[in-house]
Amino acid sequence: MTNRKSTRADKKPQPKSSKTDQLKGLLSKSEGMTVEALSEKLGWQTHTTRAALTRLKQAGFSLEKLAPADGARQSHYRIAGAKK
């Protein structure tokens, strides 16, 4: 019996981006996002999203808390230095 190698190139699956990577991407937007909007996008509860923001701060990321937009009640958060 002979061992045959496949002629097809082995395709490696693309690594999925983690939820933390997705969170960083969303917070890189210049207008930032509210905790509620982040929770909806990521499928997390709001307390989980707030905990993730805290973990980002502990990891050395500088987060900015932006004042609520006209008539809004919720603050927006973004990574400091995001393009304005």
pLDDT in tens, 39-83: 999 999 999 999 999 999 999 999 999 888 777 788 999 998 765
Q: Is the pLDDT of residue 21 over 80?
A: yes
* C-alpha span between 78 and 17 (Å, rounded): 19
* C-alpha span between 84 and 76 (Å, rounded): 13
**Domains located in the chain, CATH noted:** 19-79 (1.10.10.10)
